[in-house]
Structure 1
Amino acid sequence: MMARFVSVSSCQFHFRFREVPPPSVTSYPRRFEVSDRRFPAIPIKCSSSEPENGEDSTPSLSSSSSSSTSEVSTSDSSTYNWYTGIGGIGMLDTAYLTYLKVTGSDAFCPIGGGTCGDVLNSDYAVVFGVPLPVIGFVMYGLVTALSAELGEGNLPFGISKTNGRFALFGITTAMASASAYFLYILSTKLSGSSCLYCLVSAFLSFSLFFLSVKDVKLQEIQQVVGLQICLAIIVVASLTASYSTAQPIPSRSGDIELPYFKTEITSASSPYAIALAKHLNSIGAKMYGAFWCSHCLEQKEMFGREAAKQLNYVECFPDGYKKGTKILKACADAGIEGFPTWIINDQVLSGEIELAQLAEMSGFSLDQANAANQLQ
């Protein structure tokens, strides 16, 4: 009898006893009544269908979590790609400004104002003895390198991703603070001077800052807002201390008077340059320039003495330059914004242009050059 009881009791874990009660256990009502009250909320079946359903729900939850993680990872990767791209452009811009600073040259002569050369040669282009473009290059380099590491999730020295994002936020805050201060200096101490590359650098710095604000989120910013304000104050105070003895440069448009003078071309012309100059003249191509523009003289030197005489050159300040002098009407009508400027087949080219590019833009062929050589 005990064996039968054990056998029947064990089946209670595999079948619902209340639905199909075995007739052999009716002599033990109290024992099974207790058992029935103990396990009503835990129905266990011998069928394998229920465990399979339970197993199916787990992968579904895991798949949903994996999909959410993948979306966040893709978003972070896109953000850090923007960091890297903008930082790379900033490195190119500041590298070129460093070149202009070291060589003391300028890429473009704007109408009636100071140039990047004037800005870069001023006392404000050096911070504690270090050229400002070099500092900018280093900062953009840090942003580019750090954002690339964050995108890959492989930070050095065991730095967590959260700390890496805060470091990036701190760097961009310092850059934006410095750029705002430089714009103030440019408008007050260097009034009358313009530097497009400097403005581009400031725009890139602000873009990186706003990108980092979006990346860090407002709730996290509130945790470090005091530190960021202190960092901005330190940057501005350091620049102010460095510029305490700097001297502002005069505005060219207001303080300088330049009487007109002729420039002398010293280089000899090649047959190719002469043929190209004649071709440019024949199709109505024009070169607009100013007597005081060094790049205009360098462009003429590319052609040489003989070829330069064949060019259709337009002097935009034939009576000299001083405050209130207006640019020649022909130059104003052409929309000239700086020198030298070429207009070839209704296409505008600014700055010094290589002879090969001028030939390509004007449709000057090698056969024409050979024919010109034979005529000579």
Structure 2
Amino acid sequence: MSFYRLGMSNADLFTPHSLGPLQLPNRMVMAPMTRFRAHEDGTPLPLVADYYAQRASAGLLITEGIWPSRGGQSDWRLPGLETQAHVAGWRKVTEAVHAAGGRIFAQLMHGGRKGHPLARIDGSVPAGPSAVPEPGPVHIPGGRKADSVVPRAMSLADIRTVLDDYAEAARHAIEAGFDGVELHGANSYLIHQFLADNTNLRQDAYGGSVAGRIRFAVEAVEAVAGAIGAERTALRISPGNPQFGMAESDPAPVYRALVDAIDSAGLVYLHLTDNARYPALDDLRPRWSGPLIANVGENGEATTREAGEKVLADGRADLVSYGRAFIANPDLPRRFAAGAPLNTIDERHLYTYGAEGYTDYPLMSAAPSGG
């Protein structure tokens, strides 16, 4: 294993950076954020191309979570990368981003236990590592909510199928023109479910020990890297993140083992979410020898320019991802560079289906005085 030494850095948010084969003009990454702008079959709506192209000045764009196969669909009207219709829809997005000078990765997001038969194209019961339901109600069509269902515990055959689905969706992503793929191993989705104490009760090769708990994540990384190349493959993790009923009593041994296991794989980056319960950046950065994207705003205040630059100055990451700030500010790098005020998020339209609160935020040049 190769060790990265923490130290001071002269880089700031506007310092260019080489990320695998990509040359990034700055170190600001747009974090993946679910927005529900897809047709019912999972094909992205036409305005999705406008949304991402508007934000192409980011060093890197990462899409909202995209289900790799219909068995991994967690919510109604989330986008997929399973069919040729999906590929064609996403190709319009990548072409628009590249025409605007940007770079874009697809995030593959398998829901695992998350979801409901009424909110899934195939009407199936979700399946996760163990038969442990997600707490709380789930969204179903028609603006309604329903109680979570008890998921099926995945069989070994189910696991092999999902690994194949990840690989096939990654190939579809490259066919659609994406620059790479980020596996979603965070925020309560399937890979995270295998890593966490309370959602993985298995006693077979995919649970019961640290080595068992990390096995699915390692094999998912290997499957995608084998399909499209490690230089186009990344992983996002959020150690200790309690969202949606996740519980990890002692994240450190699990995530140290995971990072150690994939460090030599040559991935294009690791996307790591920090939190107050477990200082993942401080603990895991020294164990990771490749590029690292830090997210320091999860479950807290939105990340400011100053917070991002401190992470870089401390040498704890190479790039910083911004979520909420990019939603309301398509030209966020320009605003940060100018010290300009930021637009406010339209909370009412975060998860609706139209252009309002999605592609209608003003650019700095058109913004009235005071932002």
Q: TM-score range by the shorter chain?
A: under 0.3
TM-score (norm 1): 0.24
Provide the TM-score with structure 2 as the length reference.
0.25
Larger Rg: 1
RCO greater where, 1 or 2, for CA within 8 Å and sep 6 or more?
A: 2
